[in-house]
Structure formats: C-alpha cells, structure tokens
Structure 1
Amino acid sequence: MTMPVIPVVTVTVLIVLLLTALRRCFLVVTVDGVSMAPTFRPGDRLIARRWGLRAVRAGDVVVLRGGTPDEVFAALRPDAATAGRVLPPIDGGHLIKRIVAVPGDRVPRAGFHVLHDSPGDVVPPGKIVVAGDNPRFSADSRTYGYLRREQIVGVVIRDRDVATT
C-alpha cells in the first residue's frame, strides 16, 4: 500500500518549517577555549535562546558576535595587547561571556581598569560590560572596555552537553 503524495509532501514541508523556526529561536554553540572555565570547558555545547535579548541582566551568560579586525584592534589598548591576553574572535566568531553590567548599572571598577577613563558612573546606553569566569585567559571588558549590546546573539539557557540529550 502506498501513501498519497500530498500528505507526504505536507508532512515534509511542516518538518522543514519547524526546523527553520527552531533555528531562528535557538542557537547551539560549542565552547572553544578556557575563558569561561571552570563553568564551561572546551567542547561543552550550550543552547542559547535568540529572543528577549533586550531583557538581559547582570549574571546572564550570553553568546556575542565577535568583531571585525578593525573593531577588535581599535578597542585594544597598547598595554592590554602586550599583557599576554588572548584576543576575541575576529570575523564572525562567537564569544561566550557573563554580563557584569548593562546600561544604567554602575560601572564596575575592581579589575576593569580600562573602564576607568569612562565618563560617568553608569554604563552608557547601548553598551554592556562582560567578563569571562577565567580572567587570566579571557578577552573581555577588562581588556577592551564596553561591548555593543547589538553584539548579543543569544542568552545561554542550557549549559549541559546537549550532545548527550
């Protein structure tokens, strides 16, 4: 017995639409580096949601779009470039960092020397302050200052290895 062609096509189209919707709503990223150790290790896979990005707050772990070479190197101070720090991903790579402060929050001072030259005591509109959990091996706001809020592409919602689920 053969199935009619129309239901098979309909089911196939529905599956493709569902998968497309899921890709637009969620992002799966693999940790590549030790900047978030011990929280995340290289090879860990994370699920991030792509909606509600305006509602991020301090403490959230986010996935950020890396900058262009001009953006990355223009933001680095000469002393930071020679301090043995790693550079953030360039040209489409992703950063996984913890948000320390959002617009309107007080500018963190301890460990964030690069922000000391910032005018005012609050994070300016459109900017965020991020940090890796492993400061010695993290290129973050301690190295190159504020990031643009538009660089956020997802908020981590699941921090287990999704390959096992």
Structure 2
Amino acid sequence: MAKEKSQTWEWMKAIVMAVILAAVIRQFFFAPILVDGVSMMPTLHDRDRMIVNKIGYKFAEPQRFDIIVFRATEDKDYIKRVIGVPGDTIEYKNDVLYINGKMYEEPYLAEFKKQVSDGPLTYDFKLEEITGQKTVPKGRVFVLGDNRRFSKDSRTIGTVSVDQILGKANIVYWPMSDARMIQHP
C-alpha cells in the first residue's frame, strides 16, 4: 500500500513539473499561433498553425523580411512581414518595392503577381505619405502582408513598435501536409 502511494505521489510530481515546464516554455520561449485570415497568402494560409519564437528578439533586432507576430490590439495579434527597419525609406512604385532607393525582389509574391491580371498587388506609395516621416523611426518597423490587396498593415495602422513584437514566426506545423520552415528571402 505504501509503495502504491509513493508511486502515485511520484507520478503527480512528474505531471505537475511537466505542466509548469510547458507553461514556462510557452510564456517565455515558444508559443503556438493560428493564422487568422488571408493577409499573408500565398506564404501562409488561413488556419495554418505556427510556432512563434519569443526569445530571438531578446538578443537581436527584427530583420528585413522576417515574418513577425505582434500585438495589434489588446485582444488581436497580427502576422506580417517586416519590410522596413529603423532608418529605412520605403517606396512602392509600379508594383516594385524600393528600400533606401534600391529595388528589392519579392520572390514570395511571384505566385500572386502571375495570378493577378486586373491591376497591381500594391498601389504606389511612399513611407512619408503614409506616416508623415521620411524614414522608419527608431524602435519601430514597417510591415506589410504578402497579400497586399487584402492586408491591414503599416499602410493603415502605421509603423509597429518593437515593443509590440511577440516574436518571429517561421515554422508551420499544421496542417501536416504544409509543415515547413519559412525561408528568409
């Protein structure tokens, strides 16, 4: 009888420790997130499940073209692609991205550009027209969804504070048929 109680107690301790460990990992290191909507198509699909790396930006700044998760409102997180980092000028002209005056290829948009025949993916704009500032301010990033026609991003919400960023999302784990690492262009 004492052996049974001892074994039960050991199992209870193991379960409690596992729950605590899982909570710590989720709170501080990695967390699952559900893609809600089509703003990151074709890279991410509605209902994809991803892992968010919460610790990467504790040691490094977001890089251009990272896919990030950030707190957009108190109860809503967004997933978008970092296009501009502090000090960058951003311009879209004739459906081509220019950062600091240099043209950038966006291979993740190639599939959509082939499909769209009724106009550009993104209408021309300059960062200054949207934010009133010539460059992305210090401590902020400029983000866009890959589905430029249907994305609520920095064109409507402005630049995003680095403090709002929850982490980098680059692993799709569900559905299993689409499981993959998102490659940095």
Q: Taking structure 1 as the reference length, what is the TM-score of the superposition?
A: 0.74
**Hey, what's the Cα distance between the residues in 1 that align with 2:67 and 2:128?**
21
- DSSP 3-state at the match of 1:96: strand
- DSSP 3-state at the match of 2:78: strand
2:15 aligned to 12, 16, 32, which one? 12
2:82 equivalent in structure 1 = 99
**Hey, what's the Cα distance between the residues in 2 that align with 1:113 and 1:143?**
13
1:149 aligned to 162, 165, 176, which one? 162
Tell me if structure 2 keeps the 8 A contact 1:63–1:95: yes
Report the residue type matching 2:19 in the other structure: V
Tell me if structure 1 keeps the 8 A contact 2:50–2:173: yes
1:86 equivalent in structure 2 = none
**Hey, what's the Cα distance between the residues in 2 that align with 1:153 and 1:57?**
14
Alignment identity in percent?
A: 32
1:21 equivalent in structure 2 = 24
Report the residue type matching 1:151 in the other structure: Q
1:38 equivalent in structure 2 = 42
1:2 aligned to 4, 8, 23, which one? 4
**Hey, what's the Cα distance between the residues in 2 that align with 1:101 and 1:137?**
19
Matched positions, count: 140
Pairing 1:129–2:111 present: no
Report the residue type matching 2:84 in the other structure: A
Cα deviation, residue 7, structure 1: 1.9
Tell me if structure 1 keeps the 8 A contact 2:90–2:126: no
**Structure 1 residues not aligned, in runs of 5+:** 68-90
Tell me if structure 1 keeps the 8 A contact 2:32–2:49: yes
1:84 equivalent in structure 2 = none
Tell me if structure 2 keeps the 8 A contact 1:27–1:154: no
Tell me if structure 2 keeps the 8 A contact 1:64–1:95: yes
- DSSP 3-state at the match of 2:19: helix
- DSSP 3-state at the match of 2:128: helix
**Hey, what's the Cα distance between the residues in 2 that align with 1:157 and 1:44?**
12
Q: Taking structure 2 as the reference length, what is the TM-score of the superposition?
A: 0.67
Aligned-residue RMSD, C-alpha: 2.3
